[in-house]
Each structure stands twice: as C-alpha cells, then as structure tokens.
A and B are shown apart, each in its own frame.
Chain A
Amino acid sequence: MNFEDLKKFFFRKPKNALEGSEDAAPADKPAKEAAIPEKLVEKCEKCGQIILSDELRDNFGICPKCGHYKKIDARARIALCAEQFAELFSEVEGGNPLDFPGYDEKLAALREKTGEKDGVVCGTAVIGGVRCALFSMDYRFQMGSMGHAVGEKIAQTFEYAAANRLPVVGFILSGGARMQEGIISLMQMAKTSAAVAKHSEAGLLYIAVLTDPTTGGVSASFAFEADIIIAEQGALVGFAGPRVIEQTIRQKLPAGFQRAEFLQQKGFVDRIVGRREMPALLASLLQLHSNAGEGEAETFAPASASSAPAAAQTAAPAAKDAPSAAPASENAPAAQTGAASENGGKEVTA
C-alpha cells in the first residue's frame, strides 16, 4: 500500500454531510493504525472501528460493531440474494463514443481495478425458488454511473426477460449518467425505459431495489419504473444530489433528506428493507407473482393455494432449469478497501 492509498483509506470523507453514511464519524481523526495490510482489516465508515475484512464480508458488508451498511459490490449483492446465478451479456463493453479526453485510460484503470468490464452484472437467477432475470450495479465502477455498456446490458436483461417470460429484479446503485459519454449516456435513460415498458406490457413483474445511492439519470429512468420499488434502509435516493441542491437553493438540507425513509414517507417507495431481510422479501414477492404474464385472466379463480409455500420450501435445491450457481465466497469480494464514498456523486450527473 503506497502513501496515496493510505491517505484515501484513512482520510475518506463525504463531500456533504448528507452524502456519506447518514451520521458518519468525523473523518479528520488522525489514523493511528497506519501500517495495516490492505484487505485484512478495514475501518467502518460510521463507527470508525477496525473490522476484519473476512468478518465484514461474511456479514454482507454490515458492520458487526455498529450495524452500518457498507456498500457491497454487484456480485456480493447477487450472492446475498440469489440461490443460483448465471451471468449473461458479460461480453458487452463500452467504448469512448465522444473521444472524451482521458476516458479510455479511466475505463482501462477501472477494468483493471475491479475485474469488471463495466458497472453492472446481469444474468438469470433463482430467488425463493423462482427463476428471474437480474441486474446488479457496482459502486466500484464510477459509482454505478450509466454509459452505453450499463444501459445496453440492462436493456438486454429486460428484453431477455420479456422473451423468456421472466420477472426482473434490479439492484440499483448509481450516481447517474456517465458524463464522459455525453448525449449517448443520456440516451441510455430512454433506451432502458423503452425496454422496461416492453417487459411491463407483457404482463411481467419488475422489482427495483434502490440501494445507496440511487440518483440522477438512473433514478429518473428505470429505478422509478418498477411495479414494486423497495429501498434498502438508509439509502440516499433522489434526482439531484444533496450538494447540487444546496448550491441551488443556498441553504442547508434537513437531516434525513432524500433517505429511503423520507422517500417512503413522501410516497415514492413501497417498502424499506434491511439488507439481511432482502432475500426473504424478494422471494415472497416473486412467489406471489409466479403466474404473472401467463396471459389474460378470464376469471379470478385463485391459483393453487399450496404452490407458493411449496416453492419456498424447495427453493434452493429446485429450479433445475436455472444454470449453474455462482459460489458466494469466490465471487463476492464484499470487503474492498477501495474508495467507497470518495467517488460519491462525482463524474455523474442527472
């Protein structure tokens, strides 16, 4: 670990009090533990305690000391919620459509650092015994900003789900559009919306899970076009980031502004859920819709009453038609010491 990394590691600080963890510890405390090897331990953004990285990863990124939710990457999120997962569209990657200066290098560095081609992982999954299509956005890739690759993979996921009569579960995390792709990134909002609309018109279910943060062009497109919108507790969700709003209105925003709880109170999310409770809720919702899209119902005769619980019980071992599972431990490096919040709101835009 060089000095710059150490500085980032210990001196991370949210640009705005409302942007980082809701009540983040003061970040200007001097770091005493300067020689800790990377990835063995890390410091909780909220309580400042040092936690074993393995322990944090096994705990789905939830701080065992204070319960704070650290951001988890796309594959860790999938491992947390899905019994089985098979990746699709992994060949899709973006370029530099505007020849934006420095963007090629930036993309190359992000690919190198994350091992991902871009900021979203898509595929088919089994949750609660129900087969679905799924996409999961990655904070490590420019805070999940949406350029061509992200928009394309998400659109393909909805098209695949429509063609295969599958519900879609989307784990959303994004600061917004990817500025370096200019108008092409803006067009992703329309492209993804069109694909969501097509899937919806086929009578199929789409559940959006809004995680911290969901703002900008992503929140103003597919994040808010779902049948059911769930927010992870404490997630920042909004159109403009708090910094931009404070600059616009020249006043401080109230505590809790744009947090999931605020959104629910204002009527914009269906439910707030804790990270550990997420898999069970998704399973129940998917099971309740397991006959969705099976054509126009001519009567309201209830579906076989026993089918949902049965599906739940046989969840993990069932679903032979779903492709191979991705082992959680190998594919889920939840405990990255990278800059979780330092990219928050940067280089992304509504």
Chain B
Amino acid sequence: MNAYDIVRASREKGRPTAQKYIDEMVEGFIELHGDRRFADDAAIIGGIGRMGGRPVTVIGIEKGADTKSKVARNFGCAHPEGYRKAVRLMQQAEKFHRPVLCLVDTSGAYCGIGAEERGQSEAIATAIFDMIRLKTPALTLIIGEGGSGGALGLSAADEVWITETSTYSVISPEGCASILWKDATKVARAAECLKMTAPDLIRLGAVERVIPEQGFSPDFYAGLKAQIVSFFEEKSRIPAADLVEARYARFRKF
C-alpha cells in the first residue's frame, strides 16, 4: 500500500471507531459526560472502566458508525467542549491514580463559528499543556486519522501508538496539495511527502509502536489490550515525577 492508499484506508467506511475499541477492550465502561462549562461534545467519548482488572480512564474521538451517528458525532471533529471534557477527565484520572488511554480518530478539530467563539485554540492549547504534565500514565492510540492539532490535543502522552493503516499529520494531504501546489490532483504526492504513515512516523520518532490490524479480528483487540495492560502495568510503577520528566524528554527531542 502506498501512502495515499493508507490515507484512504484510515477513512474507510466501516472501519472500527473509538466506541468499538472501548466495547472490545474495556470492561464495564461507564461513560461520563460534559465539560462542566458549556456542553457535552458527542465527538469525544470519555469515561471509566477496567482493563485487565485495573481501573482506567478512556477518552476517544468518535466519528460515528452510521449516517445518523456520524452527524451526531460531528464526524469526529470536536468542539472546544470536547477538549475541555477530556482535560476534566484526565485530571480526575490523575486524582485517583488511574492511567489514561486516548483513542484518536479525527480529520481535525472543528473549524466553525461556535468553535472559534468558544476558544478552540485555547481549548487545544490547554489540553496539551495539562496532558503533558499529567501525573499519571497516559497512552495515545491512533486508530484512523490523526489530524493535526485536533489529534495532538489528546496525544501529549508517554507514548503514542498507531494501527498500521492509520495516519498522523500536521495537515491533510488534500490541504497540503491545494495550498502548496494549487492542485487537488496531487493529493497522492502530498500524502507521500508528508510522511504521515506508520513506518515514517516510527522513523521520525513521533510514534513508538505500530499495531498490526489483523483485519480487526477478535485477536487484534485481545492482543492490543494485552499490550496496553502491560504498558500501564509498567508505567504505573514509575514515580509520577519521573513519568512527567520522561514525557518532557519525549517531546523535547523534536
């Protein structure tokens, strides 16, 4: 598969969304709603459950599975409320020493009047600022599109993993082609140039692990869950100050 094939796969209809990962991997998930300030953003699901018996906080950007839910979820494009809800739940996780798992799947944070009026920039900036200092383990898994600042808002984690046909980029290849070459037909070339697929992201140090998708079979979720459980096991033994220092170093290297 070339880069553009992977871009298309990452957006493919029927691809499992955050809710599916939660259903498959999180025991007894209880969704918690709202940012306590303005609204509940359905583009971001957050809540508590268990993984391998350990309580965890899970926050996922949800695109929706069918037309009706896609509309309700705003196609996985979160408003500021979504990022503020995520921060609230991360701080709650920190208070109760629960690790945080973020599932990222978004073409980007929403660009609209309401989003600007309610401070999309401030919401994302604060999410990065707070997550990067979080005194509890945090892991981000990119399960589809990792689109720009909207993805980064939930990715200031100890490690970032990616499934093999997902992407992580500062801009969509369409955006890049139209801005740089004023030519929408050069999307495939832009996808190559942006180095947004798993092998390049590993090489550049932006992600730590690539998770083979195995056709999204039950084995895929079971294997992934086992990896996440052991990651949290290992990170939970590290003193919070060291964890935060290591996270600083992770991002400082770029």
Does A160 touch B at the CB level, under 8 Å? no
Closest B residue, CB atoms, query A196: B129
- Minimum CB–CB distance from A3 to chain B (whole Å) comes to 21
Known: A179-B171, A221-B125. A101 touches B148 (CB 8 A): no
B115 to chain A: which residues have CB within 8 Å? 239-240
A248 to chain B: which residues have CB within 8 Å? 110-112
Closest A residue, CB atoms, query B248: A194
Does B70 touch A at the CB level, under 8 Å? no
A193 to B156 Cα, complex, angstroms: 10
Contact B171 A220 (CB under 8 A): no
Residue of A185, A193, A240, A257 touching B125 (CB-CB under 8 A): A193
Does B68 touch A at the CB level, under 8 Å? no
Contact A219 B196 (CB under 8 A): no
Closest A residue, CB atoms, query B172: A349
Closest A residue, CB atoms, query B150: A350
Does A177 touch B at the CB level, under 8 Å? yes
A183 to B146 Cα, complex, angstroms: 10
A187 to B109 Cα, complex, angstroms: 16
A89 to chain B: which residues have CB within 8 Å? none
Binds A, one of B6-14, B54-62, B175-183, B219-227: B175-183
Contact A186 B152 (CB under 8 A): yes
Give chain A's interface secondary structure class. helix
B64 to chain A: which residues have CB within 8 Å? none
A188 to B116 Cα, complex, angstroms: 22
A179 to B251 Cα, complex, angstroms: 19
A136 to B245 Cα, complex, angstroms: 28
Does B122 touch A at the CB level, under 8 Å? yes
A184 to B169 Cα, complex, angstroms: 9
Contact A183 B149 (CB under 8 A): no
Known: A194-B251, A225-B125. A179 touches B180 (CB 8 A): yes
A197 to B135 Cα, complex, angstroms: 13
Contact A100 B193 (CB under 8 A): yes
Known: A193-B128, A238-B121. A185 touches B170 (CB 8 A): yes
Contact B112 A186 (CB under 8 A): no
Contact B125 A223 (CB under 8 A): yes
Closest A residue, CB atoms, query B249: A194
Does A155 touch B at the CB level, under 8 Å? yes
Per the CB 8 Å criterion, the residue count for chain A at the interface is: 56
Render B110-126 as a binary contact track against A, CB cut-off 8 A, 1 for contact: 11110111111110111
A238 to chain B: which residues have CB within 8 Å? 116, 120-121
Residue of B108, B133, B180, B206 touching A350 (CB-CB under 8 A): B108
Known: A194-B132, A249-B112, A350-B108. A217 touches B254 (CB 8 A): no
Does A20 touch B at the CB level, under 8 Å? no
Contact A223 B112 (CB under 8 A): no
Contact A217 B149 (CB under 8 A): yes
Residue of A100, A101, A148, A219 touching B254 (CB-CB under 8 A): A148
A198 to B175 Cα, complex, angstroms: 34
Does B168 touch A at the CB level, under 8 Å? yes
Contact B124 A183 (CB under 8 A): no
Among A301-347, those with CB < 8 Å from B are: 346-347
A198 to chain B: which residues have CB within 8 Å? 248
Among B217-251, those with CB < 8 Å from A are: 247-248, 251
Contact B170 A182 (CB under 8 A): yes
Contact B125 A220 (CB under 8 A): yes
Render B174-202 as a binary contact track against A, CB cut-off 8 A, 1 for contact: 01100110000000000001111000010
The interface centre, meaning the residue of B117, B150, B156 with most chain A CB atoms within 10 A of its CB, is B117
Known: A187-B251, A190-B251, A223-B121. A216 touches B113 (CB 8 A): no
A95 to B139 Cα, complex, angstroms: 30
Contact A349 B112 (CB under 8 A): no
- Minimum CB–CB distance from A89 to chain B (whole Å) comes to 15
Does B252 touch A at the CB level, under 8 Å? yes
Contact A179 B170 (CB under 8 A): yes
Known: A253-B113, A346-B179. A182 touches B196 (CB 8 A): yes
Contact B133 A197 (CB under 8 A): yes
Does B204 touch A at the CB level, under 8 Å? yes
Does A277 touch B at the CB level, under 8 Å? no
Sample 29 A-B pairs with CB under 8 A, ordered by A number.
A101-B193, A155-B252, A182-B194, A183-B168, A183-B195, A186-B152, A190-B132, A190-B156, A190-B254, A191-B252, A191-B254, A193-B125, A194-B133, A196-B129, A197-B129, A197-B132, A217-B148, A217-B170, A219-B125, A221-B128, A225-B126, A239-B121, A239-B124, A240-B111, A245-B113, A266-B119, A267-B119, A347-B179, A350-B108
Known A182-B195, A220-B128; 9 more pairs at CB < 8 Å: A183-B170, A186-B149, A186-B206, A194-B156, A198-B248, A220-B121, A220-B125, A224-B126, A350-B108
Residues of A within 8 A of B (CB): 97-98, 100-101, 148, 151, 155, 177, 179-191, 193-198, 201, 215-217, 219-225, 237-240, 244-245, 248-249, 253, 257-258, 266-268, 346-347, 349-350
